[in-house]
């Protein structure tokens, strides 16, 4: 995809790269993702390097990370020995894959550590009460959030979309809440 021919595409790729740095991703990783997302055909690593003016090592690293997130897939073209890559273009599936991977990388280790601390705190009678209480509340909060996430993740896509569109109106279904 000759992004230099399409200023809007190039602007999107550059912006996605910049936003990626705010979301904790490497700029090159986000730019490779944006290029593949916009491409209407699979691209090989050399085409990605050329389109984004990136070193082959950056592209290889980016492709591995994106595959780890489950938002880029390797594919093959009959008669061609090179690996080609495509991005998930269904936005809901893209969102769910990113969310699941971030939970695995960021939330799961935190909940494990908090559970470990909670167990250790029970045996440490010298620990100040406010520290015990705050770590305990953090553990409970993240555990509740994780439980909610797992339940919501199991809903059908159409149900989730309807739920999102309800927005704050969903509070009508909670006893004791006011609009």
List beta partners, residue 72: 87
46 in Cβ contact with 83 (< 8 Å): no
In tens, the pLDDT along 70-100 reads 999 999 999 999 999 999 999 999 999 999 9
Closest CA relative to residue 76, chosen from 32, 43, 31, 34:
43
Over 116-177, what HEC string results? Answer: HHHHHHHHCCCCCHHHHHHHHHHHHHHHHHHHHHHHHHCCCHHHHHHHHHHHHHHHHHCCCC
Weakest-pLDDT range from 17-21, 64-68, 151-155, 170-174: 170-174
Beginning with the edge strand found earlier in the chain, give each strand of the sheet holding 84-87 in spatial order: 43-44, 84-87, 72-75
In tens, the pLDDT along 8-38 reads 999 999 999 999 999 889 999 999 999 999 9
């Amino acid at each position: 995809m000759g992004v230099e021919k399409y200023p809007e595409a190039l602007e999107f790729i550059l912006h996605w790269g910049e936003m990626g740095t705010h979301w904790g991703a490497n700029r090159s990783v986000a730019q490779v993702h944006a290029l593949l997302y916009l491409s209407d055909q699979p691209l090989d690593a050399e085409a990605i390097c050329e389109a984004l003016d990136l070193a082959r090592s950056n592209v290889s690293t980016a492709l591995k990370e994106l595959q780890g997130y489950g938002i880029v897939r390797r594919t093959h073209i009959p008669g061609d020995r090179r690996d080609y890559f495509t991005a998930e273009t269904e936005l809901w599936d893209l969102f769910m894959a990113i969310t699941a991977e971030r939970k695995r990388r960021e939330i799961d280790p935190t909940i494990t550590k908090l559970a470990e601390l909670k167990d250790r705190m029970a045996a440490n009678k010298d620990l100040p009460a406010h520290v015990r209480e705050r770590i305990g509340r953090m553990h409970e909060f993240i555990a509740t959030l994780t439980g909610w996430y797992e339940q919501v993740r199991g809903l059908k896509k159409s149900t989730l979309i309807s739920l999102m569109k309800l927005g704050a109106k969903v509070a009508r279904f909670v006893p004791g809440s006011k609009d």
